[in-house]
Amino acid sequence: MSDNLRGALMMMAAMAAFTLNDSLMKLLSGELPLFQAMFLRGLGTTVFFLALAWRMGALRLPDDPRDLWLVLLRTAGEVGAAFFFLTALFNMPLANATAILQSLPLAVTVAGALFLGERVGVRRFSAVAVGLVGVLLIVRPGAEGFTVYSLYALAAVLCVTLRDIATRKLSPGVPSVTVALAASLGVTVLSAAGAGVAGGWVAPPASAVLWLGGATVFLIGGYLLSVLTMRRGEVSFVAPFRYTGLLWALLLGWLVFGDWPDSLTLLGAAIVVATGSFTLWRSGRKGAVAAATQPRG
């Protein structure tokens, strides 16, 4: 089995794990308040990453103050993304929220050009513009079926973009597990504070405990698989397989929640996936050309 094929299979497994986590969290929407669900899931992931960081000798703050601020900025993006996406997920169909989230590569492309000085050609900017049309078809502001929670999903995309830009600027020496632990801890602490302010803590029923346990396991599995994915195969080949998460969202949304998007939403999702895949392919191709033309030390 080639490295590209292994990487693609791991990416598809990671997207399945993340989507199963989302589905289980959505099942909690009628049983637990949002902040309490975020806190309990975050508690499990934080304990796991704390133990992993301790075992790997990565239980320390970054030495460079710049990296420390970047970790904090990335954690803020992670906290915002968790809050906005889960709020949207609790109040709109799984496939619709997931489809909006697929615009992330387009948002990161624009942010990279604006804030990191990355060169983005006419083709990728054109893909971003077409992808925006796809997003508007999914959200449809002003239409009868529009809800404010579509804007929450878009806010989650902006927060994840902030997270990814901060990650790109981190020094290579900062351990990934340290970054993951900081993000998990940030989400857990702030969700605990939100739960305290909102009040209304409830005793989780047996079904909620089961959903929470499953969501925690799938979230950890998705994270680990996504890290392994980036160490296998070419990014330009592997990255587009992230869109298989939308297929999982369509399937689980139909089987578990009885939801199926309308034709315009499906058309918008197809446009977003096509333009995002093209953007990822062009980014990987440009990176490969740049690496090939770099002088050898």
pLDDT in tens, the chain (297 residues): 678 888 889 889 999 999 999 999 999 988 999 999 999 999 999 999 999 999 998 888 888 999 999 999 999 999 999 999 999 999 999 999 999 999 988 998 888 888 878 788 888 889 999 999 999 999 887 666 678 999 999 999 999 999 989 988 889 888 888 999 999 999 999 999 998 888 778 888 999 999 999 999 999 998 888 877 766 667 667 778 889 999 999 999 999 999 999 999 999 999 999 999 888 887 765 544 332 223 233
Gap between the Cα atoms of 15 and 270, Å rounded = 17
Q: Is residue 112 part of a domain?
A: yes
Other CB atoms within 10 A of residue 109 CB? 24
List C-alpha distances in Å: 125 to 115, 275, 282: 15, 10, 11
pLDDT at 233: 66
Q: With b meaning 16 or more CB within 10 Å and e meaning fewer, what string describes 178-188? A: bbbbbbbbbbb
Q: Is residue 273 part of a domain?
A: yes
Q: Report how many domains make up the chain.
A: 1
Tokens of 138: 């999914």
pLDDT at 286: 54
Q: Is residue 297 part of a domain?
A: no
Tokens of 57: 């000798």
pLDDT at 2: 76
Name every residue whose Cβ is closer than 8 Å to that of residue 53 and which is 6 or more positions away in sequence: 59, 175, 177, 178, 181
Q: Do 95 and 249 contact (CB within 8 A), yes or no?
A: yes
Gap between the Cα atoms of 54 and 227, Å rounded = 18
Range of the domain at 180: 3-290
Q: Report helix, strand and coil shares of the chain as percent, to nearest 5.
A: 80, 0, 20
pLDDT at 109: 87
Q: Is residue 28 part of a domain?
A: yes
Q: Is residue 296 part of a domain?
A: no
3-class SS of residue 205: coil
Q: Is residue 295 part of a domain?
A: no
Q: Is residue 104 part of a domain?
A: yes
Gap between the Cα atoms of 155 and 261, Å rounded = 21
Task: Please indicate, yes or no, whether the overall pTM of this predicted structure exceeds 0.85.
Answer: yes
pLDDT at 189: 95
Q: Is residue 166 part of a domain?
A: yes
